[in-house]
Amino acid sequence: MAAITGLPAGETPIRDVEAIQELVHPDDRVALLETIREGLRTQGRYEAEYRLRPGPNGEIVWLRAAGIQVLDSKGELTSICGVIQNITDSRVEEDHRRTLMAEVDHRVKNVLAAVQSLAYQTAKRTTSLESFLSNFAGRLKSMGSANELLTAARWRGAAIAHLAAAELGGIAPGQTRWEGPELFLTPRAANALSLALHELATNAVKFGALSTDTGRVDVRWTKTPRGGFELIWNESGGPPVGVPAHKGFGSTLLAQVTGRELNGEVIPEFRAAGVRVRVTAGAQTIVDRPDNVPDAPVARVFETSPKASRPTDLRGSRVLIVEDAVLLALELETGLSDAGAEVVGPAYELAEAMALLDGHIDAAVLDANLNGLSVHPVAEALAARGIPFVFATGYGDTGAPLGFDAPIIRKPYDVTQVAAAVSALLSVAA
């Protein structure tokens, strides 16, 4: 006790107990004394947690105290026997957990609000359900890719090169190139740039350089003298380009949202040789690169190019769906059925999935986690039978079970992407 509180070693007289309150943090003194008095009066014992008065360097020590009164043969109080435990580490951990949960709650609400806004703005500016679903799914996937990179860096930021790779890596292989110095962006700037790159890539695939096999997209960025960055998106080799007759939500997203979030501007040029877009950002968008940030994906991630718009034909195939989220399972079932597959399941539990393996299966779509249990046993059984499968997971590149040469589709995904992945697996197996 002496080491913890600073009191002299040995017993402390009862009459001096209230003097001990001088050692207690001023904000905890009244509550502590009331807890002790009330506990002794009603139960003959007490338990309390409190802080000591801040030390010379401002450090805070948390204590847990418990005591019981000792009475003589006449029922008179003779002493209080108790223990004091230093619980500073556990309280710091608890405070950290509370702060973390509050931050998670805040981020989830922000993400949901952003998704709601994207859905509303996309719907407001589209004329068909098909167009809405395509545009909204693409923007949602872009947000998901940026968030995955941010999560890998513990939400301290993301590198421009990683953002460019996430948006362009699966589009028109050999027709896209990106390069520039290593610049690490804040989470806010990373999300904004990710959406901007997605909009530019989508337009290039639909109308610009990537709508043909001869076009190219070059993305280069540099750090500016004022500490920000400048990114140039340059298209060449595609069809002649003119100024759009009207501006959609993508243009608004680039001009207003991206520009403001980056504290810069987005300047498009519609040249006959191809679109050129200049993106500038302020110095506050760049942060130092954190330690232990993954340099590259460690798993084979399946991406579908927007150019691959031909419907997938899965007729004659039996495809097992293993997914614990009911809405996602229903979406997968509908999408694969529309592609002609005969769906096995869906299986929502690990035991249910294992039982379905006894029947004939041509391929499978596996969530990486089923209500807290790894899907590894199912994947292992499928691999032993030579049945191809794809992981569909929200855990990112490292979240799927290790040891399997199976592609990964990251949530949020387009169900047509899943169907295309299954088709590719079946083609290889054949």
In a domain, 179, yes or no: yes
Is residue 156 within 8 A of residue 287, CB to CB? The reply is: yes
Query: Is residue 228 predicted with pLDDT exceeding 90?
Result: yes
Give which of 143, 151, 222 is closest to 182, Cα–Cα: 222
Mean pLDDT across the chain: 80
Burial of 22-60, coded b for 16+ CB within 10 Å and e otherwise, reads: ebbbeebbeebbebbeebbeeeeebebbbbbeeeeeeee
Label residue 291 by pLDDT band (50, 70, 90).
Answer: low
Label residue 248 by pLDDT band (50, 70, 90).
Answer: low
**Within this chain, do residues 362 and 258 fall inside the same structural domain, yes or no?**
no
Treating both helix axes as pointing N-terminal to C-terminal, what angle do 129-152 and 88-124 enclose, rounded to 10 degrees? 160
In a domain, 111, yes or no: no
Give which of 428, 370, 426, 375 is closest to 403, Cα–Cα: 375
Residue type, 115: V
pTM: 0.52
Burial class (CB in 10 A: 0-12, 13-18, 19+), 347: buried
In a domain, 109, yes or no: no
Segment 358-404, tens digit of pLDDT: 899 999 999 988 888 888 999 999 999 999 999 887 665 555 566 67
**Within this chain, do residues 269 and 150 fall inside the same structural domain, yes or no?**
yes
Segment 131-175, tens digit of pLDDT: 777 767 766 765 666 666 666 556 677 889 888 888 787 676 678
Distance separating alpha carbons of residues 398 and 148, to the nearest angstrom: 11
Neighbours of 409 (CB within 10 A): 23
Query: Is residue 216 predicted with pLDDT exceeding 60?
Result: yes
Q: What CATH number is given to the structural domain containing 279?
A: 3.30.565.10
Boundary residue ending a domain (86, 108, 136): 86
| DSSP structure class, residue 253 | I
Top mean-pLDDT range of 1-5, 256-260, 263-267: 263-267
**Within this chain, do residues 222 and 150 fall inside the same structural domain, yes or no?**
yes
In a domain, 215, yes or no: yes
What is the reported pLDDT for 133? Answer: 75
Query: Is residue 235 predicted with pLDDT exceeding 90?
Result: yes
Distance separating alpha carbons of residues 136 and 125, to the nearest angstrom: 11
**Within this chain, do residues 123 and 162 fall inside the same structural domain, yes or no?**
yes
Distance separating alpha carbons of residues 123 and 130, to the nearest angstrom: 11
In a domain, 304, yes or no: no
What is the reported pLDDT for 146? Answer: 61
Region 93-104: mean pLDDT is 75
**Within this chain, do residues 128 and 275 fall inside the same structural domain, yes or no?**
yes
Q: What CATH number is given to the structural domain containing 377?
A: 3.40.50.2300
Give a three-class secondary structure readout of 70-96. EECCCCCEEEEEEEEEECHHHHHHHHH
Boundary residue ending a domain (287, 308, 327): 287
Q: Is the peptide bond before 412 cis (omega within 30 degrees of 0)?
A: yes
Which of the two residues, 255 and 104, has the higher pLDDT score? 255
**Within this chain, do residues 140 and 279 fall inside the same structural domain, yes or no?**
yes
Query: Is residue 301 predicted with pLDDT exceeding 90?
Result: no
The rounded percent of the chain whose pLDDT value lies above 90 is: 26
**Within this chain, do residues 374 and 423 fall inside the same structural domain, yes or no?**
yes
Top mean-pLDDT range of 93-97, 276-280, 296-300, 301-305: 276-280
In a domain, 348, yes or no: yes
**Within this chain, do residues 235 and 127 fall inside the same structural domain, yes or no?**
yes
Label residue 243 by pLDDT band (50, 70, 90).
Answer: confident
What is the reported pLDDT for 180? Answer: 94
What is the reported pLDDT for 304? Answer: 44
What is the reported pLDDT for 175? Answer: 86
**What are 23's two structure tokens?**
């050692």
**Within this chain, do residues 275 and 349 fall inside the same structural domain, yes or no?**
no
| DSSP structure class, residue 214 | S
Distance separating alpha carbons of residues 110 and 146, to the nearest angstrom: 14
Domain count across the chain: 3
Is residue 399 within 8 A of residue 392, CB to CB? The reply is: no
What is the reported pLDDT for 298? Answer: 36
Distance separating alpha carbons of residues 382 and 359, to the nearest angstrom: 12
Distance separating alpha carbons of residues 219 and 233, to the nearest angstrom: 5
Query: Is residue 355 predicted with pLDDT exceeding 90?
Result: yes
Segment 320-350, tens digit of pLDDT: 999 988 878 888 898 899 899 999 989 999 9
What is the reported pLDDT for 302? Answer: 43
Segment 28-50, tens digit of pLDDT: 988 998 998 899 989 999 999 99
**Within this chain, do residues 77 and 126 fall inside the same structural domain, yes or no?**
no
**Within this chain, do residues 73 and 133 fall inside the same structural domain, yes or no?**
no
What is the reported pLDDT for 93? Answer: 86
**Within this chain, do residues 229 and 184 fall inside the same structural domain, yes or no?**
yes
Q: What CATH number is given to the structural domain containing 50?
A: 3.30.450.20
Segment 305-327, tens digit of pLDDT: 444 444 578 999 999 999 988 87
In a domain, 80, yes or no: yes
**What are 190's two structure tokens?**
């990373």
Query: Which range marks the domain in which residue 165 is found?
Result: 117-287
Is residue 229 within 8 A of residue 196, CB to CB? The reply is: no
Distance separating alpha carbons of residues 176 and 197, to the nearest angstrom: 12
Boundary residue ending a domain (231, 266, 287): 287
Distance separating alpha carbons of residues 227 and 35, to the nearest angstrom: 56
In a domain, 257, yes or no: yes
Distance separating alpha carbons of residues 420 and 311, to the nearest angstrom: 8
Three-class SS of residue 275? strand
